[in-house]
């Protein structure tokens, strides 16, 4: 009995020593020559920007604002003042650029996320929900094709928990507004359609998206398809108000950041 008790004490002693060491190392790694960072545990890309990070790339954020398991995200620190998390890549959460990743996937993949943060990727609906509801967020969509670049910005952006319903509005930009059509729509994939319609939009248009009946924007469609307009298959990467539905756009990024963020002055 005494031996068992000693083993338990030893186990907890080692456990707390490990936790303390991890805490100390984390603080040390997140220090600068001038002292501790302003945000030792940044909750998003804007806080990393205010910590002095000016180069786009992968960073670790701590959504709870304290020591814990970090989340690796891609931050765009250069576009429109920086601090964006990329979804399809600012805080970036989506990116399409070369067709290297298959986006015609099922529900589980879209919830969890897939791809390479330095290439094509989808961040994941569950993480997108968690981050987009932490604070009031704005969304930016960057589109490039054939040497042309346009953008769409939305002052309201949120992904709800139930069926990952999209809330988006307040458009400004140069791409035209193709996303407000999808406001209040639930996310659907080839194997799950929470709001059944006459046709399965995800199956017909080969992606996972907030389809209505069916789309004006389809940024997760098939890459590199130029559709015969007379057939009107519209299965490519579509932003109707810019290139119509018969042309698949070459590059897209979706990204978000807190609405109250103000970029630091340029040095």
Kindly report the three-state secondary structure assignment for every residue of 139-191: EEEEEEECCEEEEEEEEEEEECCHHHCEEEEEEEECCCCCCHHHCCCCCEECC
With residue 214 as reference, give the H or E element that holds it: none
DSSP state of 81: G
Judge contact between 249 and 238, C-beta under 8 A: yes
Judge contact between 169 and 183, C-beta under 8 A: yes
At residue 233, the pLDDT reads 63
Q: Which residues contact 111 (CB under 8 A, 6 or more apart)?
A: 124, 125, 126, 164
Where are the chain's structural domains? 45-86, 91-253
**Predicted TM-score of the model (pTM):** 0.76
At residue 224, the pLDDT reads 81
Strand partners, 152: 141, 173
The low-confidence residues of the chain, meaning pLDDT below 70, are: 1-36, 87-91, 197-198, 225-233, 267
How far apart CA 243 and CA 152 sit, in angstroms, is 14
Helix/strand/coil for 61? strand
Helix, strand, coil percentages (3-state) for the chain, rounded to 5, are 25, 30, 45
CATH of the domain spanning 91-253 = 3.90.215.10
> In this structure, how many other beta carbons lie within 10 angstroms of the beta carbon of residue 25?
10
At residue 267, the pLDDT reads 63
């Amino acid at each position: 009995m005494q031996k068992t008790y000693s083993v338990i004490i030893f186990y907890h002693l080692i456990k707390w020593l490990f936790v303390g060491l991890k805490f100390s190392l984390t603080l040390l790694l997140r220090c600068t020559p001038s002292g501790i960072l302003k945000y030792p545990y940044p909750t998003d890309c804007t806080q990393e920007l205010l910590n002095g990070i000016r180069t786009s790339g992968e960073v670790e954020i701590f959504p709870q604002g304290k020591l814990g398991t970090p989340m690796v995200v891609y931050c765009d620190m250069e576009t429109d003042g920086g601090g964006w998390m990329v979804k399809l890549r600012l805080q970036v959460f989506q990116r399409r650029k070369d067709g290297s990743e298959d986006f015609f996937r099922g529900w589980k993949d879209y919830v969890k996320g897939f791809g390479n943060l330095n290439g094509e990727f989808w961040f994941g609906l569950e993480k997108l929900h968690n981050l987009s509801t932490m604070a009031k967020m704005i969304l930016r969509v960057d589109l490039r094709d054939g040497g042309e670049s346009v953008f769409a910005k939305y002052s309201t952006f949120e992904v709800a928990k139930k069926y990952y319903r999209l809330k988006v509005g307040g458009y400004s930009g140069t791409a035209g507004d193709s996303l407000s059509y999808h406001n209040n729509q639930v996310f659907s994939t080839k194997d799950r359609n929470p709001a059944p319609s006459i046709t399965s939009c995800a199956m017909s248009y080969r992606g996972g998206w907030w389809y209505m009946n069916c789309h004006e924007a389809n940024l997760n469609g098939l890459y590199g398809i130029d559709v015969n307009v007379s057939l009107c298959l519209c299965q490519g990467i579509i932003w109707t108000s810019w290139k119509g539905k018969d042309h698949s756009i070459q590059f897209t990024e979706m990204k978000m950041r807190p609405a109250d963020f103000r970029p630091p002055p340029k040095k």
